[in-house]
Amino acid sequence: MLYSASTVAANGARPGAVDTGVPPVLDLLGIGFGPSNLALAVALREMLPRQAPFRFGFIEKKPGFVWHGNMLLDNSRMQISFLKDLVTMRNPASRYTFINYLHERERLLDFINTRTFYPSRYEFNDYLSWVAADFADTCHYGEEVVAVEPETAGANRGNGGNGALACLRVTSRAADGALTVRRARNVVVSVGGAPSIPDTFVPLRGHARVFHSSNYLESLERLGQSGPVRRVAVIGSGQSAAEIFLDLHGREGNIEVDLVSRAPALKPADDSPFVNEIFNPRYIDYLFSRAPNEREQLLSEFGNTNYAVVDTDLIEAIYEVLYQQKVTGKVRHRLLAGYEARHAEADADGVRLDIARRDDGAHQLQRYDAVILATGYRRELHQSLLAPLAAYLDDAKGFQADRDYRLQMAPGCQAGVFLQGCCEATHGLSDTLLSVLAVRAQEIAAAVLGNGESQGLANVRAAAPEPARSRPSRMAHAGTH
Ligand SMILES: Cc1cc2nc3c(=O)[nH]c(=O)nc-3n(C[C@H](O)[C@H](O)[C@H](O)COP(=O)(O)OP(=O)(O)OC[C@H]3O[C@@H](n4cnc5c(N)ncnc54)[C@H](O)[C@@H]3O)c2cc1C
Ligand SMILES: NC(=O)c1ccc[n+]([C@@H]2O[C@H](COP(=O)([O-])OP(=O)(O)OC[C@H]3O[C@@H](n4cnc5c(N)ncnc54)[C@H](OP(=O)(O)O)[C@@H]3O)[C@@H](O)[C@H]2O)c1
C-alpha cells in the first residue's frame, strides 16, 4: 500500500524482511488524501529518483477518492482555472495535468470548444480521481487517523536512544473499529475543514432533518426516503448556500426554499484580476513576512474573494428565479436577508425555527421539513490530532507553521510535522483552496527531503531538484515515472 521506488508489502515492510512486530519507519505519512496530499504524492513521485529508498504513504478516512462528493451538484462549476490543477504551476510537462487528463479521456478538442477555464466540479472530481487512481497503492482508504503521538528515541528500539523525538506514531481506526499504528519521520496533516455549526443548531447535531452542506446530497436523499421534502430552510449566504438553493429549485416536487442570510444581501465574490494576484504563490512570501496585525488586516480586506460571497452568475440566476415569482405571482421561495435563526426545535416530523430580523428583532415562527446549514467550515482538526505532541512544539509558535509549512519543534526534535490547509492566518487566503497546491507540494517535498537522517536520504537529497519556483520545468526530468 505504500509507494516506494523499491517494493514494500502492505504493512510497509520490504519483501523478505523479518516481521519484528514493530512497524517500519516511513519517511513520510500524509493524513487525508484530498487534493493537497494528492498534489504532494505527485510531487514526491516526480521529484524522487526512480530507485530512491524513500517510503511514503497516505491515510484517508473515506472508502475511496472523492472531492466534496456531497456537493457535486448538477451545473456546479469550478471557481478556479483548470490551469491551477495539481501540477501545472510546478511542472507543466507532468503527465498529471488536467490537459493530459482530457487527452487521455479523448475530450481535449471538445473541451477546447467549450471555451472555458472553469470545468464542472463533476469533471474536476473525475480528473482528481483519475490521478488518485494512479496512486491507489500509496493510500490506505477507509481509515480515520485518531492520534499522532511522539515516539522518543529512548523509548523505542531503532532510534538511537538519545531521548530525542525522532519518529511519530500515527494511529488510525477502520470502519470496523480496528486500530492500526504506523510510524513515520515526517507527517503531513491535510485534513481539510470540519463543518461549522451555529450555536442555535448544536443541540440538533445528528438529527436527520438538520444537516450541513458537506452532507447535502446524501442527507437529502436519505430524508427523501422517509417522506416528501416540501419546505426547506437554507442557512447562510456563501457559495454553498447559493448552489444548494438553485439545486433545490431545480428538483422535482416544487420544493419551497427560504434562504436565510445574516447579511443584508447576497454579495459577489471578487475574482477580478488585480485582486486575484493575492492567490499567486509569491503573495504568500509577502503575507508571511508581515506582522500578525497587518496580516489580519489584509485577510479581512480580501475576505470577499472567498468567504460569504457568491459567483456573480449565480447571484443573477437566483435574482431571476425570485423575479419570475413576482411576474407569475406564484411564490415558492423567499430570500430572508438580514435575518437569523435564533431558536430551533426538531422532531420526527419537522424542524421549527424562530427566525428574527436582525435590525428590529421582529420574528416569525416557521416549520420546515429540512434545515440545511451552509454555514462554512472550521479548520482546527489538526490541533486535536496533534495534541499529544504539544510538549514538543515551540512554545512561542504552537500550531503556527513556518514558511515551509513545518511546525517549529523544540530543539533536538528530528521528526517533522507539516500542515496544509490550516495556515490561512500566516500564509493567506490561498491556503484552503486549490490555488497554490502544486507549488506548495513542491515546497513541502523539498523541505522533507532535506529533513532528518532518513535511510538513504542522502542519495535523495543529492538527486532532488532545486526547491521552489526558480526552474519549474526541470522537475519533469528529475524523475518523472
Ligand atoms: C463544495 C466545495 C467546492 C470547492 N470548490 C473549490 C474550487 O472550485 N476552487 C478552489 O480553489 N477551492 C474550492 N474549494 C475549497 C477546498 O478546500 C479545496 O478545493 C480542496 O478541497 C482542499 O483540499 P484539501 O486536500 O486540503 O482538503 P479536502 O479536500 O477537504 O481533503 C481533506 C481529506 O482529508 C480526509 N480526512 C479528514 N480527517 C481525516 C482523518 N482524521 N483521517 C484521515 N483522513 C481524514 C477527508 O476525508 C478529505 O478527503 C471548495 C470547497 C468546497 C466545500
Ligand atoms: N462550486 C464551487 O467551487 C464551490 C461550491 C461551494 C463552496 N465552495 C468554496 O467552499 C468554501 C466555503 O464556502 P461556503 O459557502 O461553504 O462557506 P462560507 O463562504 O464560509 O459561507 C458561510 C455562510 O454561513 C454564514 N454563517 C456562518 N455562521 C453562521 C451562523 N452562526 N449563523 C448564521 N449564518 C452563519 C456566513 O454568514 P456571515 O457572513 O454572516 O458569517 C456565510 O454566509 C469557499 O472557499 C467556497 O468558495 C466552492
Which CATH number does the domain housing residue 248 bear? 3.50.50.60
Same domain for 46 and 128?
A: yes
Q: What is the pLDDT of residues 174-206, one digit of tens each?
A: 999 999 999 999 999 999 999 999 999 999 999
Residues 128 and 224 in one domain: no
Q: Mutation test of ligand 1: which of 434, 439, 440 has the most ligand atoms closer than 8 Å to its C-beta?
A: 434
Residue nearest to atom 29 of ligand 1 (CA): 34
Q: Do 107 and 141 fall into the same domain?
A: yes
Q: Quick check: CB of 263 below 6 Å from ligand 2?
A: yes
Task: Quote the ligand 2 centre to 268 CA distance (angstroms).
Answer: 12
One domain, residues 50 and 165: yes
Give backbone dihedrals phi and psi of 235, rounded to 5 degrees, phi first.
-100, 130
Residue 473 lies in a domain: no
Q: Is residue 59 lining ligand 1, measured as CB closer than 6 Å?
A: yes
Domain assignment present for residue 16? The answer is no
Query: Do residues 229 and 346 share a domain?
Result: yes
pLDDT digits (tens, 9 = 90+) for 432-454: 999 999 999 999 999 998 854 44
Q: What is the mean pLDDT of residues 419-431?
A: 98
For residues 1 and 57, is the Cβ–Cβ distance under 8 A?
yes
Identify the pLDDT of residue 164: 78
Does residue 349 lie within any of the structural domains? yes
- The residue from 337, 358, 376 where one domain ends is 376
129 alpha carbon to ligand 1 midpoint, in Å? 13
Would residue 213 count as lying in a domain? yes
Q: Which atom of ligand 2 is nearest to the CA of 199?
A: 31
Residue 478 resides in a domain: no
Residues 108 and 255 in one domain: no
| Range with the poorest average pLDDT among 57-71, 75-89, 162-176, 423-437 | 162-176
The pLDDT of residue 152 is 80
Q: Which domain holds residue 385?
A: 25-193+379-463
Residue 2 lies in a domain: no
pLDDT at 413: 86
Same domain assignment for residues 337 and 227: yes
Test site for ligand 1: of 29, 36, 128, most ligand atoms within 8 A of the Cβ: 36
Tell the residue nearest (CA) to atom 16 of ligand 2: 376
- State the maximum Cα–Cα separation within the chain, in Å, rounded to a whole number: 79
246 shares a domain with 110:
no
Q: Bridge-partner residues for 344, per DSSP?
A: 353
Do 135 and 256 fall into the same domain?
Answer: no
Does 281 fall in a domain?
Answer: no
pLDDT tens-digit readout, 28-45: 999 999 999 999 999 999
> Per the structure, how many domains does the chain have?
2
454 lines ligand 1 (CB under 6 A): no
**269: Cβ below 6 Å to ligand 1?**
no
Pair 345, 202: CB distance under 8 Å: no
Both 371 and 401 in a single domain? no
Q: Does the beta carbon of 79 sit less than 6 angstroms from any atom of ligand 2?
A: yes
| Pairing assessment for the beta strands 179-184 and 165-174 based on DSSP bridges | antiparallel
End-to-end CA distance of the chain: 18
What is the model's pLDDT at position 22? 82
13 within some domain: no
**Does residue 255 sit in the same domain as residue 107?**
no
CA of 302 relative to ligand 2 center, distance in Å: 15
**Substitution site in 375, 377, 437 for ligand 2 pocket (most atoms within 8 Å of beta carbon):** 375
Let me know whether 37 and 110 are in one domain: yes
Kindly tell me if the per-residue pLDDT of 394 is higher than 90: no
Residue owning grid cell 510510524: 183
